[in-house]
Structure 1
Amino acid sequence: MSAKFLKIVNGSKEHCCVPLCSASGRYNSTLSFHCFPKNASLQAKWSHKVRRTGFTVTQHTKVCSRHFKPHEIVISKKGRRALVAGAVPSLFEWNNYSTKERPGVWERRARPPSPEPDVIEPAAAEPVAIPMVMDHDYEASPTVCVDRQHYEQLKQEIDALREQLKTCHLSKFGLQRFASSPEDIRFYTRFPSYTHLMAFWSLIESATSKMIRVTSRARKACDISTVTESPMTRPTKLLPIDELFLFLTYLSTGCTQGELSHRFNIHRTTVGRIIVTWANFLYSLLGSICFWMSPAAVKTCLPPEFDGRYSNTQVIVDCTELRCQTPSSLLLQSEVFSTYKSHCTFKAMVGMSPHGALTFVSTLFEGSMSDKEVFRQSGITSLLTPKMAIMVDKGFLVDDLVPGTVYRPAFVTQRAQMPEEDVLQTQSIARLRVHVERMIRRVKENKLFDTTIPLSITGSINQIFTVACLLSNFQNGPLVANEV
């Protein structure tokens, strides 16, 4: 629709309010100007069509007739132009003053011709018929004729893919991958060989069916539920023996949970739940076994070095400390700070029989606690009788706590020089006490205890350390080889 502009015909100042429209009543007499309707809904339609925001509709706001369709404008007998009821402007410059709708996709683009069915040419030679099992036989024929050469190629490809799949399974990080390497088994589990590890697994395998698992919901609600270990109800995709391997790897190598999640191809939170689950399980299972030996059993295994003066020795005790992360609370820092290590630590007391077997392990205490107080709170005094003797270091001033004899290196006190008999006694005790240091070294071969214990696992570090101590009896032989 085009506009015809003429010279000034009258002095009318009417003009169109539509954007991009410059029509005015001063320069033409062919256009008429119409006010916005008073009906609110119809006026809203006009404002929406006009696309002009930020203005107020008044009685002088007009829209010219070029924006209406011809049949929407009627002329009275007196020559006045008016709009039919319900008319709405729809012709604008942005739609090229047209109401023609955009053609459809198929109107703008020719449809491609329908493909002709393929004509199968007869083969030169009839192929050999090979019966094949089909999931969906839509035809009546029970056999399918295929090319022998193509069939053999596909068969070879399937065999190659099967071998590749077997290789992928063997390369998976798990216990079976290292079964033939005693060095790797020793590195990842601290067991001397795969045979020893499987012997330990045979002892605990039956108890895994009653394992109490820690789940994310249980840890939040402080509630746990019993889960029966079976392929259908097992909550993780690792087998129980692989979960044990993961826990032993965590102890032995000190890897972070994120690194273990990449190795075993599971989520990091799943690794954390497996570690806590197996720490609690082994803590309860191995803790139910009485490792404390009777005096008769100790006497039977007593090495020749203890014959004579120290033949009544029941246990050799010593303390060890684990470095931990420094807490933010100053009160907690003062409690766990060890002046001996100049760091925040956890302290525990372990005891071993004269021939080298671990027979006692205490809970973890604050690093600021003295050896005597650790001895008092460990509960070992309830196991001792007046006929039992213990061997301790100089820091254990526990003569008033032990009902029997205490073998301890002598002090110089205020004397200028230690007497000869005290020197000989100190040397003899030191030669026998060194085995408890070797036993502690066996426990600390687990690299987890060489690192700084993060505060995030302090809730289960006591169980983890106790399990590591108890496992040392299964992972190693006796310290003293010349036992009777």
Structure 2
Amino acid sequence: MLLNDFFTFQRADYSSFEHCCVPLCNSSSKYDTTLTFHKFPPDPELRRTWIESIQREKLHVSRFSRVCSRHFTGEDFQENGRLLKPGAVPVLFEWNQYSVSGVVEADGPVDGPVEESEAFLTEHNYALASETELKERIERLTGGQKFGLQRFAGSDEDIQFFTRFASYDLLMGFWTSIEHFVPLVVSMKSSQRDILSDTSVPAVPSLQPIDEMFLLLNYLALGSKLKDLADRYGIQPSTVSQIITTWSNFLYTVLGSVNIWIQEEKIREHLPAEFEEYADTTVILSCMELRYQRPSSSLLDGEDLSTQSTSRCTLKGLFGVAPHGAVTFISQLFAGSVGDDHLIRESGILTLLRPGMGVMVDQGFPVDDLARCKIYMPAFLSLRSRISGRDDRETLAGVHVEHLIGRVEDHRFFDTEIPLQLLGNINQLYTVACLLTNYENGLLGKADAERPV
């Protein structure tokens, strides 16, 4: 029920293993029980001193933020050796060789690059980020050190850039909700090794489970190439492929066990004001098309995909979004040549719809099979790119719907060509990317104003 509760309201108070937010420190209470982890002090002046000492760009201190005991001197602790004395400040860091006599200097200039990074992130124009810009950004943020989740724990903007989760707190809440299922990942890896075992291949460095999940989120959020991910994490491209396959299967199994379809009365409880003219709308249907790498030979025996035109190297899926922002329906993928009418009939959506239900679709969408429902086909769904700033009800609804669908489509994975190594998992990747939208953001309905910021 934890996942279901998290999906429905996304307001639960989660706890998790503690991690150090200091740059270049990978300490975690899960893997190092000898350390203690300390909250930032409530006193504003002392907290500011901590932040200045830590020297983390754009550090956002949250209830999850911790500094581990490695960064305090022995004199900072009370007699029990675990509690800090009042006024203690972290002073021992990687950049001063953990020595109080060292001069603490900033990792880099605070002007220029920082402002440039902030401007780039404020725009959130992820689609325009080139591979070169991405590598430069990563190099600047990490200082060339080990890439992983904790490197960006202090910045919600960086977390959103690399994962699409709106904040570090949301991401850690999601991790907590699935963490007790992680042994299933180990089991999946063991099965893969049994099938693909090769004693001639030397063992490769392994990542912590939370960083493996972070890698998958990087792939879905940024549509990065496997080689680029391998370079970032210091592993082989084949290992990247294995991690993406394992974790997409895992999340497909865990998240897919949650019933995401929401009943009409529950949707009405969270109906946004923009939908007053469409108050009985249960679902907004939209299509998604994915491209996959064209096989160079007859890799798929029994299928003629390799002999078809490039335009046939696509797959199409149907997904549905509730007016308040939750993804409530995801179909399997079908060949790109399939017609929309066939897509609707085979997707399974008809089994969920009842007579009189409100369904919003794009103009031109076949509605014969939806005839028993109340069909809304507003112009703004066809002209979303032409929406103006007019303050009328239909335009506000159009902006709202654009935002709902955009939250799904914002995963750059959908804009890339799926490599052949991942073709066997394309349904899982597509489904997981859609489902993650329910955990990455808050709801957009009336309850939005009630959620704490």
Shared topology, TM-score over 0.5? yes
Partner of 1:458: 423
Counterpart residue number, 1:76? none
192 and 160 in structure 1: CA distance in 2 versus 1, 3 angstrom threshold: closer
Q: Report how far residue 278 of structure 1 moved.
A: 0.5
1:252 positional shift:
1.6
Give SS of 2:293's match: coil
Sequence identity (%): 46
* Residues 1:366 and 2:339 are matched in the alignment: no
Structure 1 unaligned runs (5+)? 1-158, 222-233, 411-426
Structure 2 counterparts to residues 245-324 of structure 1, below 5 A: 245-307=214-276, 310-324=278-292
Q: Using a 3 Å threshold, how does the CA distance of structure 1 residues 180 and 209 change in structure 2: closer, same or farther?
A: same
- Measured after TM superposition, the shift of residue 213 of structure 1 is 1.7
1:348-363 matches, cutoff 5 A? 348-363=317-332
CA distance, structure 1, for counterparts of residue 395 and residue 334 of structure 2: 26
Amino acid at match of 1:299: R
Deviations, residues 107-150 of structure 1 (Å, cap 9, x unaligned): xxxxxxxxxxxxxxxxxxxxxxxxxxxxxxxxxxxxxxxxxxxx
* 2-structure distance, mates of 1:390, 1:430: 18
Bigger relative CO (Cα 8 Å, ≥ 6 apart): 2
Partner of 1:380: 349
Q: Which has the higher helix share?
A: 2
Indicate conservation of the 8 Å contact 1:399/1:406, yes or no: no
1:140-198 superposed Cα distances (whole Å, 9 cap, x missing partner):
xxxxxxxxxxxxxxxxxxx987779xx99993211111111222211111112211111
Letter in 2 for 1:476: N
Equivalent in 188, 192, 209 of residue 213 of structure 1: 188
1:317 alignment partner AA:
L
Q: What CA distance in whole angstroms lies between the structure 2 residues aligned with 1:376 and 1:436?
A: 24
Decide whether the 8 Å contact of 1:376 with 1:401 is kept in 2: no
Tell me the secondary structure at the aligned position of residue 400 of structure 1.
helix
CA 1:364/1:334 → structure 2, altered by over 3 Å: closer, same or farther? farther
Normalised by the length of structure 2, the TM-score is 0.57
Q: What secondary structure sits across from 2:213 in the alignment?
A: helix
Counterparts of 1:194 and 1:187 in 2: how far apart (Å)?
A: 11
Distance verdict in 2 for CA 1:304–1:259, change over 3 Å? closer
Aligned to 1:184: 158
1:447 aligns with 2:420: no
Contact 1:356 1:435 in 2 (8 A): no
Matches within 5 A, 1:370-409: 370-409=339-378
Q: Partner amino acid for 2:432?
A: V
Provide the rounded CA distance (Å) in 2 between the counterparts of 1:396 and 1:433: 17
CA distance in 1, matches of 2:314, 2:242: 25
Seen in structure 2, the aligned counterparts of structure 1 residues 194 and 160 have a Cα distance that, compared at 3 Å, is closer
C-alpha contact 1:335 1:368 (8 A) present in aligned 2:
no
Contact 2:267–2:322 (8 Å) recurs in 1? yes
Structure 1 residue 259: Cα displacement: 2.1
Q: Which structure 2 segments of 5+ residues have no match?
A: 1-94, 108-141, 198-202, 380-391
- Change in Cα spacing, 1:327 to 1:401, as seen in structure 2 (3 Å) is farther
1:198 and 2:198 aligned: no
Larger Rg: 1
Distance in 1 between residues matched to 2:430 and 2:361, nearest whole Å: 21
Cα displacement (A) at 1:429: 7.0
- Structure 2 CA distance for aligned equivalents of residues 483 and 250 of structure 1: 29
Q: Is the Cα contact below 8 Å between 1:335 and 1:366 reproduced in 2?
A: no
Question: Which moved further from structure 2: 286-295 or 444-453?
Answer: 444-453
In structure 1, the residue matched to 2:146 is 172
- Give 1:305 deviation, angstroms: 3.3
Decide whether the 8 Å contact of 2:251 with 2:432 is kept in 1.
yes
Shift of 1:457: 1.4
**Offset from partner CA, 1:74-115 (integer Å, 9 cap, x none):** xxxxxxxxxxxxxxxxxxxxxxxxxxxxxxxxxxxxxxxxxx
State the distance in 1 between where 2:403 and 2:306 align: 30
Alpha-carbon shift at residue 402 of structure 1 (Å): 4.8
Could you tell me how far 1:331 is from its partner in structure 2?
A: 3.8
- The secondary structure found in structure 1 opposite 2:359 is strand
Q: Which segment drifts farther, 433-442 or 196-205?
A: 433-442
Distance 1:430 1:364 in 2: 31
Query: What SS class does the counterpart of residue 235 from structure 2 fall into?
Result: coil
Question: Secondary structure at the residue paired with 1:448?
Answer: helix
Superposed counterparts of 1:92-111, under 5 Å: none
CA contact (8 A) 1:302 1:483 kept: no
Residue 366 of structure 1, CA deviation: 1.2
Asked if structure 2 preserves the Cα contact closer than 8 Å seen for 1:352 and 1:358, the reply is yes
Change (3 A) 1:295 1:462: same
Instruction: Flag the 1:200–1:314 CA change in 2: closer, same or farther, 3 A.
Output: same
